Amino acid sequence: MPKFHDNFLLGRLKLRQLRLLTAIADEGTVLKGSQALNIAQPAATKSIKELEDALGVQLFDRSSRGVTPTDFGKVMIKHAKLILTQLRHAGEELQSLEEGLSGRVHVGTLLAASTSLLPRALARLREQRPGIAVTVAEGTIDRLMPALRTGDIDVVLGRLPEYREREGLAQEVLYLDTVSIMVREDHPLAQRAELTLADLVDQAWIMPPTQTSLRRQIDHAFRHEELEPPRDVIESVSILTNHALLRSTDMLAAMPHQVGIGQAGLVALPVTLEGANSRIGATTHANVEMSAAVRYFMGVIHEIAAEIRAEMEQDQEAAVDPRETRRQTR
């Protein structure tokens, strides 16, 4: 029988050791990890040493600057976080049965979900289930997906990652969004009825980071027109920063259309980025069962996504029939 079989681990692991293991990994030192759990450092050091002796492997490399997980440690930390997440979900479901639906949802949001989908869902969730607490973390895929895999985040909303980033994850498309080039309302280019990408190459741009799939699509759109992508670029996924820059400068920004139209004082230029589009959706851990609170939250997300799809269809019909646009603006 292999050394690390089920009975071997079950007979040696204690929940307090798993909590300490993840705390030390998160904090970077035994001292800070022990302080996070309000236990004495000598007791924490002894507990980790007992765990290492029981497993017969070293979990951390120690130095004067702190501790670094070994390969064995990384595996144990990953599974410890998943175990603790599942126990947290169990506690939330028990609480929900006792008091009515409550609990906590940890949401990661990418730019594409931050201005419409998520805010509307949070507002409705608060109306329907004020007992559910929500924590929101904003970032990029490379920051949010690792937290999703370890259970620190329950769901990531926004532009769906590419295939190479899907292992162990479950994805659901909520709606499709185009990419628009946004500028301030009184931007000189906003007065022009016709524009091409060639007119925009030498402009100053706000772009998503180079490692994102959206940036690769934007660069491809320029190269499809036999143009080199813009060089005068600030890379940013901060909604507040991008909005402030667009309102106060002549910069351009390529962003999902739903994000752009949700920001006051901005308009879309009449230019098409060929092949640039966004599959907006939800990404969850494929092997972790959702808590009752997360399931309810996802139900609200589906409601809001359906409303956004209907609004997008109405906008498309209005673009085809100008009379509809006039009726809506009266």
User: What does pTM read for this prediction?
Assistant: 0.65
Class of domain 176-278: alpha beta
Dig out the tokens for 311 from the structure. Answer: 């609004």
Do the Cβ atoms of 286 and 168 come closer than 8 Å?
A: yes
Residue with tokens 């990890």: 33
What is each CA distance from 198 to 195, 239, 266, 275, in whole angstroms?
8, 26, 22, 17
Rounded Cα–Cα distance for residues 165 and 157 (Å): 15
CA atoms of 112 and 21, how far apart (whole Å): 35
Residue 149 φ/ψ region, left for φ over 0, alpha for ψ in the -120 to 50 degree band, beta for the rest: alpha
Query: What tens-digit pLDDT sequence spans the chain (330 residues)?
Result: 445 555 656 667 788 888 999 999 999 999 999 999 999 999 999 999 988 888 889 999 988 888 999 999 999 999 899 888 888 888 877 776 555 467 889 999 988 898 889 999 999 999 998 889 999 999 888 889 889 988 889 999 998 876 555 678 899 999 988 888 999 999 999 988 889 999 999 999 999 888 887 888 899 999 999 999 999 999 998 888 999 999 999 999 988 888 887 788 999 999 888 877 778 999 998 888 888 889 999 999 999 999 999 988 887 666 555 444 444 444
Where are the domain boundaries for CATH 3.40.190.10 in the chain? 101-174+280-322
Q: For position 119, what pLDDT does the model report?
A: 95
> Where in the chain are all domains bearing CATH 3.40.190.290?
176-278
The pLDDT value recorded for residue 323 is: 44
Q: How does DSSP assign 66-95, residue by residue?
A: EEEE-HHHHHHHHHHHHHHHHHHHHHHHHH
Q: In angstroms, rounded to a whole number, what is the distance separating the alpha carbons of residues 154 and 82?
A: 11
The helix-helix angle for 15-27 and 71-99 (nearest 10°) equals 120
Angle between helices 71-99 and 292-320 (to 10 degrees): 90
Strand pairing report for 205-207 and 233-235: parallel
CATH 3.40.190.10 fits 101-174+280-322, yes or no: yes
Q: Domain 6-80: give its CATH code.
A: 1.10.10.10
- CATH 1.10.10.10 in the chain, residue ranges: 6-80
